């Protein structure tokens, strides 16, 4: 599966990724991740360790695509890719080439995490205004693109992350962008295929709410994986039934005589494969159900700033 982070330059994407890696490399509730390439792992560890000293990543601390393994109690559940764009890919809306490339990337993503710099949403504190359009306009436009690139019956998760909530003035946001975010959440809630989440995060020496956007993405990756294994198991079951129907003493003897596998032996081999798929499904469903329950609980808990739409 592929997770894509989107958001304007300086919104906090790379910082989030470093903090998320550190948190899940240590593991929470049995879930952990590991970078497949050890060099990537070391680079992310460095970002994470610096963050815990209050040092944010520089623009050069970026590689665009990482490959990870998601583990539950140390056994692998699935592999996933995580894409971080260099600099401000979304800043230049007038660049058709960039937008086309972007659209292509979106088609291939299985989960999107959209980053909104909360300090830039507040008209009182907004320092890095983007020329020509607001952060909310940019994100809304992108969400429309995501929604239209996926069919109605294809569940698609988008986590909206309001970053830097530690930097908010009086713990609130004033201005149009806050209203626009409310409207966007209403659209997401009424959309058939988009499953939304909204949270506010802090990344730095102390972190807040960094687990949820990551776990939400993983739930949908796991659901996709379960659907694929289910389809494989169904095909094996059909094959087993088919072979059993054709099994007879006569087929046993003639296959033995012709030195070919009999329907009985093919049914057996497929049944063994089917059992492996069923075991795999069990190994995937238990942690997926745990994650779904956890996200629902957190979303209902007033102590957390995390909502599901």
Q: Summarize as ranges the residues that interact with ligand GDP (CB under 6 A).
A: 7, 9-15, 56-57, 163-164, 166-167, 202-204
* Binding residues for Mg ion (CB under 5 A): 13-14
Residue 194 site contact among Mg ion, ligand GDP, none (CB < 5 to 8 Å, cut-off depends on kind) = none
Residue 213 site contact among ligand GDP, Mg ion, none (CB < 5 to 8 Å, cut-off depends on kind) = none
- Going from the C-alpha of 281 to that of each of 189, 289, 304, the distances in angstroms are 30, 12, 32
Q: Which residues contact 25 (CB under 8 A, 6 or more apart)?
A: 32, 33, 34, 41, 44, 45, 48
C-alpha of 84 from chain center: 13
For residues 89 and 243, which CB has a smaller minimum distance to Mg ion in the complex? Answer: 89
In degrees, to the nearest 5, what angle opens at C-alpha 262 toward C-alphas 257 and 264?
A: 140
Task: Point out the residue whose Cβ comes nearest to Mg ion.
Answer: 14
Torsion angle (degrees, nearest 10) of CA 202, 204, 207, 211: 80
In degrees, to the nearest 5, what angle opens at C-alpha 77 toward C-alphas 227 and 301?
A: 85
Residue 12 site contact among Mg ion, ligand GDP, none (CB < 5 to 8 Å, cut-off depends on kind) = ligand GDP
For residues 14 and 159, which CB has a smaller minimum distance to ligand GDP in the complex? Answer: 14
How far does the chain reach from its first CA to its final CA, in angstroms?
Answer: 22
Answer yes or no: are the C-beta atoms of 120 and 129 closer than 8 Å: yes
Residue 203 site contact among ligand GDP, Mg ion, none (CB < 5 to 8 Å, cut-off depends on kind) = ligand GDP
For residues 51 and 219, which CB has a smaller minimum distance to Mg ion in the complex? Answer: 51
Residue 180 site contact among ligand GDP, Mg ion, none (CB < 5 to 8 Å, cut-off depends on kind) = none
Q: Which residues contact 134 (CB under 8 A, 6 or more apart)?
A: 176, 177, 180
Strands of the sheet containing 194-200, edge to edge, are 31-35, 65-72, 75-83, 2-7, 111-117, 156-163, 194-200, 306-308
Please report how close the Cβ of residue 213 comes to ligand GDP at its closest, in angstroms. 13
Please report how close the Cβ of residue 195 comes to ligand GDP at its closest, in angstroms. 23
Please report how close the Cβ of residue 223 comes to ligand GDP at its closest, in angstroms. 28
Please report how close the Cβ of residue 72 comes to ligand GDP at its closest, in angstroms. 28
Q: Which residues contact 223 (CB under 8 A, 6 or more apart)?
A: 155, 288
Please report how close the Cβ of residue 119 comes to Mg ion at its closest, in angstroms. 16
Residue 202 site contact among Mg ion, ligand GDP, none (CB < 5 to 8 Å, cut-off depends on kind) = ligand GDP
- Residues of 288-299 as b/e, b for ≥16 C-beta within 10 angstroms? beebeebbeebb
Residue 166 site contact among ligand GDP, Mg ion, none (CB < 5 to 8 Å, cut-off depends on kind) = ligand GDP
Please report how close the Cβ of residue 13 comes to Mg ion at its closest, in angstroms. 5
For residues 64 and 144, which CB has a smaller minimum distance to ligand GDP in the complex? Answer: 64
Please report how close the Cβ of residue 3 comes to Mg ion at its closest, in angstroms. 15
For residues 143 and 162, which CB has a smaller minimum distance to ligand GDP in the complex? Answer: 162
Give the whole-angstrom CA distance, residue 184 versus residue 196.
Answer: 10
């Amino acid at each position: 599966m592929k997770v894509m982070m989107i958001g304007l330059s300086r919104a906090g994407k790379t910082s989030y990724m470093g903090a998320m890696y550190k948190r899940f490399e240590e593991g929470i509730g049995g879930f952990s991740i590991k970078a497949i390439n050890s060099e990537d792992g070391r680079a992310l560890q460095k970002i994470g360790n610096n963050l815990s000293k209050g040092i944010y990543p520089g623009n050069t601390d970026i590689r665009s695509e990482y490959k990870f393994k998601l583990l539950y109690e140390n056994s692998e559940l699935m592999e996933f890719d995580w894409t971080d764009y260099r600099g401000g890919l979304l800043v230049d809306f007038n660049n058709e080439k960039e937008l086309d490339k972007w659209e292509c990337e979106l088609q291939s993503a299985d989960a999107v995490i959209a980053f909104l710099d909360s300090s830039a949403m507040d008209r009182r504190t907004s320092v890095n205004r983007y020329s020509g359009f607001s952060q909310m306009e940019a994100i809304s436009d992108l969400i429309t693109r995501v929604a239209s690139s996926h069919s109605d019956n294809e569940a698609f998760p988008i986590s909206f992350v309001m970053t830097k909530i530690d930097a908010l003035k009086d713990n609130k946001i004033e201005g149009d962008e806050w209203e626009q975010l409310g409207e966007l959440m209403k659209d997401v809630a009424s959309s058939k295929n988009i499953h939304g989440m909204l949270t506010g995060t802090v990344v730095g020496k102390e972190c807040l709410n960094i687990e949820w956007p990551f776990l939400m993405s993983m739930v949908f990756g796991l659901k996709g994986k379960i659907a694929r294994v289910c389809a494989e198991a169904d095909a094996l079951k059909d094959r087993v039934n088919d072979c059993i129907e054709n099994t007879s003493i006569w087929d046993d003897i003639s296959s033995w005589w012709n030195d070919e596998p009999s329907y009985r032996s093919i049914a057996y081999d497929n049944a063994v494969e089917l059992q492996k798929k069923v075991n795999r499904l069990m190994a995937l469903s238990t942690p997926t159900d745990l994650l779904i329950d956890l996200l629902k609980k957190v979303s209902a808990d007033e102590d957390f700033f995390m909502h599901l739409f």
